[in-house]
Structure 1
Amino acid sequence: MDVIDIPRRIDAPRRLLLWTTDEVVPVAVGVMVGITVDRLLLCAAIGFVFVRFYRRFRDGRADGYLLHALYWAGITKPKGHSFPNPFVSRWLP
């Protein structure tokens, strides 16, 4: 039987050690780019600085604010079919 990890709170984000997954991604991307361009410490440091500013941005706003902002900017597309196009400014019957 497989062991299933159950979070303490139902809305708790997934964590990797001490960070949430949205904080791990910039550092991981910085490490990958740093390995590619042979500047690992510099790119990892830039990733850590980005995470620090992202935490300040995220903590002052509601949950999911960044996803909503990306949606309204037209960068992401939700999976559901009931979401309207963010660029439509006029709705006709």
Structure 2
Amino acid sequence: METQIPRYIDDPSQFLFWDLDEALIMIGSFCFGILLGYPFWGGVAGLVSGRALRKLRSGKAEGYFWHALYRAGIVKGSPPGYIREMVE
């Protein structure tokens, strides 16, 4: 089994062999299923939502999901997106 080491520092983060955003949605769905008392169905919902996210992102740039959340104001970034130059 080969281990892939990111080549650049700005490569997207991964959890096992999923991108981080897919993994967070799948794990979140599974945990929600555990809270409701249906861990199997939570896991199924996690796999389905992870696959749906992958299809939604296909053909788009890496980090598309995070950029969409940032533009919607859900995820805060540093610095804000409208600042083009940093002056000390």
1:17, distance to aligned residue in structure 2 (A): 2.5
Give 1:66's aligned residue.
65
* Identity between Structure 1 and Structure 2 (%): 32
In structure 2, do the counterparts of structure 1 residues 13 and 76 end up closer, same or farther at CA, with 3 Å as the change threshold?
closer
1:56–1:29: structure 2 CA closer, same or farther, 3 Å change rule? same
Structure 1 gap ranges (5+) = 86-93
Q: Which amino acid aligns with 2:25?
A: P
Please name the residue that 1:19 is paired with. 18
Q: Does 1:39 align with 2:38?
A: yes
8 Å contact kept, 2:12–2:20: yes
CA distance in 2, matches of 1:72, 1:18: 27
The CA distance in 2 between the partners of 1:57 and 1:66, in whole Å, is 9
Distance in 1 (alpha carbons) for counterparts of 2:12 and 2:77 = 19
TM-score relative to the length of structure 1: 0.68
Q: CA RMSD in A?
A: 2.4
Q: Is the 8 A contact 2:30 2:45 kept in 1?
A: no
Aligned residues: 80
Q: Between the two structures, name the one with larger relative contact order (CA 8 Å, sep ≥ 6).
A: 2
- CA drift at 1:23: 1.6
- Return the TM-score normalized by structure 2: 0.71
- The match for 1:9 is 7
